[in-house]
Amino acid sequence: MKPKNNLTTRKESAVMSSLNISSQAHIASQSVILGDVTIGADSSVFYYAVVRGDEASITIGRRSNIQDNSTVHVDYGFPTVIGDDVTVGHNCVIHGCTIGDASLIGMGSTILNGAKIGKHCLIGAGSLVTQNTVIPDGMLVIGSPAKVKRPLTEEEIQSIYKNATDYVALSAAQFE
């Protein structure tokens, strides 16, 4: 029986599985990926990361990296969308949110349901982006709760792209 809000029930979600991982993605054998998950070319999922699309879908774009011990998860009605050239640092929790292209999520940060991170954003290490927060494009965001501090410089934006590119090379070398 479908619930009135047309969302999947927990029992139904247990059998939902639709992995679509690019043959050019680099996935550590110690990571866990399950459910409705799409991962683009040249993206990577590092050691002990968990990508669990069991209650909604997860989409990870091209050249993005999910670093060690991070968790990418969803909630009913809250899919996770991670754009192209995104870095998710070590020990992050990315939950039912949207992260725009060429953004960097610092180590130990948490992004909660319904949050929308614009493109070219840098979320400082240890930050907590609370539910339904919207971060405009091109911003430095830090704190718990996270607050916009200032626009990023062009040099900072270019360093985000460089980080993503460096991780493409690193993952290709490590996961051959």
How far apart are alpha carbons 88 and 72 in whole angstroms? 10
**pLDDT single digits (tens) 126-144:** 999 999 999 999 999 999 9
For residue 37, give Cα distances in angstroms to 7, 57, 60, 146.
Answer: 17, 6, 8, 28
Is residue 95 within 8 A of residue 114, CB to CB? The reply is no
In this prediction, residue 17 carries a pLDDT of 74
- Distance in angstroms (rounded) separating the CA atoms of residues 21 and 45: 11
133 close to 146: Cβ distance less than 8 angstroms: yes
SS3 category, 173: helix
* Distance between start and end Cα atoms, the chain: 45
Q: What is the pLDDT of residue 30?
A: 96
* Rounded Cα gap, residues 138 and 4, in angstroms: 39
Query: Given a cut of 60, is residue 15 above it in pLDDT?
Result: no
Phi-psi group of 90: left, alpha or beta (phi > 0 → left; psi -120 to 50 → alpha; rest → beta): beta
- The pLDDT-based confidence of 7 (bands split at 50, 70, 90) is very low
Please give the class, per CATH, of domain 10-171: mainly beta
- What's the burial of 176, exposed, middle or buried (CB within 10 Å: 0-12/13-18/19+)? exposed
Question: CA 69, CA 107: separation in Å to the nearest integer?
Answer: 10
Query: β-strand 71-73 against 50-60: which pairing, if any?
Result: parallel
CB 141 within 8 A of CB 158: no
- Mean of the pLDDT values across residues 73-92? 98
Radius of gyration of the CA atoms of the chain, in A: 16
Higher-confidence residue: 67 or 18? 67
CB 109 within 8 A of CB 128: yes
